[in-house]
Amino acid sequence: MTADTKVLVVDDEQVVLDSVRKHLKREGYDIQTVLSGDEAIEILDSGWPEVVITDLMMPGMDGLELLERVRDASPKVPVIMITGFATMRTALQALRQGAFDYIAKPFTRAELQGVVVRAARQASQSRECDATAPHDDGLGLGLRHHLGGHCWINVEPDGSARIGLEPSFANTMGEVTEVELPSVGDYLEQGSVCLRFLTADTRSHTLWSPLSGSVVELNESLRERPRLATKDPAGEGWLIRLEPANLQEELDGLNLT
């Protein structure tokens, strides 16, 4: 259950806090909002929040520093970053540092609700094993990298990169009814929208592109069988294949070795 999940929202702009509160209150979440990281730490120390949403760029304690504090004090609390276009790559690096996900301004109500419901579901699940532990089953050839609980990247023998969901992302979305794929030939910037999943509860879930490059292949099976993405995310449910533009540089930037 995600109703009554305690969500702490941190942003130095009151208008953003008001917008997030308005959208999430409709879903039954218990919301607290603060204007600084220092105020957030006081609430975090009380053990209250179950999910934290924080702006990435704030005066004083920024989102990355707050993420580190949350990870040290309450490692099971998912942290969602709010970011602008100019800081998309920094937000992607935050995933590697333990952030649950990020959402780019301006965001829609469906996008906000989608990422928060996934975080709330993860927070409520008791698991015996680490949700972000590497999974090396599935497509066998090449070298596979894992970007937190977000996605995996399989470097193929020809140098292309196949991308798919990490199980922890797949397991918290719900029933996928449609996958909004890019087109072959599209150029994706690292940190930009790779594709979106639409679910039966009318929410939208964004997968961010872990690499820059041109789309060379789509998993066309997902058009008729969208649930493959969640039922077999490490194998037949792979998503797209890219011809990377700066493979090693971008992997190094994310500390994916």
Is it the case that residue 2 has pLDDT exceeding 70? no
Longest dimension (CA), the chain: 52
More confident residue, 162 or 142: 162
Q: Which residues pair with 196 in a beta bridge?
A: 180, 206
CA dihedral 256, 178, 100, 105 (to 10 degrees): 100
Select from 2.40.50.100, 2.40.240.10, 3.30.70.270, 3.40.50.300 the CATH code of 143-253.
2.40.50.100
Domain definitions of the chain by residue range: 6-124, 143-253
Say what the pLDDT of residue 169 is: 94
Measured over the CA atoms of residue 70, residue 71, residue 74 and residue 76, the dihedral's sign is positive
What interhelical angle do 63-73 and 37-45 show, nearest 10?
10
Is it the case that residue 133 has pLDDT exceeding 60? no
Is it the case that residue 3 has pLDDT exceeding 60? yes
* Core vs surface per residue 60-76: b (16+ CB within 10 A) or e: ebbbbebbebbeeebee
* Mean pLDDT over each residue of the chain, to the nearest integer: 90
More confident residue, 195 or 131: 195
Enter the DSSP assignment of 88.
H
Say what the pLDDT of residue 120 is: 95
Tokens 């276009």: give the residue. Answer: 85
In this chain, the answer to whether the domains covering 6-124 and 143-253 adopt an identical fold is no
Say what the pLDDT of residue 96 is: 87
Say what the pLDDT of residue 84 is: 84
More confident residue, 139 or 164: 164
Is it the case that residue 20 has pLDDT exceeding 60? yes
The token pair at 168 is 């922890």
Q: Give the pLDDT band (50/70/90) at residue 119.
A: very high
Q: Give the pLDDT band (50/70/90) at residue 254.
A: confident
Q: Which CATH superfamily is domain 6-124 in?
A: Response regulator (3.40.50.2300)
Is it the case that residue 199 has pLDDT exceeding 70? yes
Say what the pLDDT of residue 32 is: 97
Asked which of 103-112, 191-200, 206-215 is least confident by mean pLDDT, the reply is: 103-112
Asked which of 85-89, 106-110, 181-185 is least confident by mean pLDDT, the reply is: 85-89
What is the pTM (predicted TM-score) of this model?
0.86
Say what the pLDDT of residue 68 is: 96
Each residue's pLDDT tens digit, 63-72: 999 999 999 9
Say what the pLDDT of residue 136 is: 46
Say what the pLDDT of residue 256 is: 75
Mean pLDDT along residues 123-139: 51
Say what the pLDDT of residue 148 is: 84
